[in-house]
Amino acid sequence: MHRVNIALTLRAERPEDAAFLSQLFAGSRWSEFASLPWTEAQKRAFLQQQYDLQAAQYKTHHPNAAFSIIEWGSCAIGRFYVDRNGKDIHIIDITLVAEYRNRGMGSELLQTLLAEAMETGCNIKLHVAHSNPARQLYQRLGFRITADEGVYLAMTWRAFPPA
C-alpha cells in the first residue's frame, strides 16, 4: 500500500473490487448515454460490456502495470492505473467517484507521480479526451500536447527538457 497523504492511499486492485470498478466506470460515462433512447437496463448492460472490454484491454496491453484502488480512509473512491517501463511512466487511467472530484486528490496523486519521475528521470505520458476537464489540470502541471489522435490528445510531461 502506498500512502499519499493521511487519508488518501493506493492499494493493489483485488478481485473483490470488480463491482466497484464497474460502477466507477459506468458513473464516469453515464452522461454520455443519458440522452439515448435506451432503457436504464440497456444502458447499464452496454456500459458493463464496455467496462469488461476496457479492463481486458488494459490487462492485455499493460501486463506489468500497477492497477491501484484509490482509498479515502477505508472507502474506495477511484482507480489509478500506472505502467512503468523504465524509460517512461504511462498513466493508463485515473478516475475518481464524482463526489471526490475537484478536491485536489487527483492533483495530489499526480504530484506524487511527478516527484517519482523527477527522481528517476522518466517522462510521464497519458491520453486524455479533448472534452475531459482533467486536461486543464494536466496542462497546469506541465504536461504538453504531443499529438492529436482524434478523440484523444497524447500528452507528455518531461522530467528534463529535451536536448
Q: Round to whole Å and give the CA distance between 69 and 115.
A: 20
Sketch out the chain's domains with CATH numbers.
2-157 (3.40.630.30)
Find the mean pLDDT for residues 105-115. 94
pTM tops 0.95, yes or no: no
Q: Which residue has the higher pLDDT, 58 or 33?
A: 58
Place of cell 464496455: 50
Tens digits of per-residue pLDDT, 40-50? 899 999 999 99
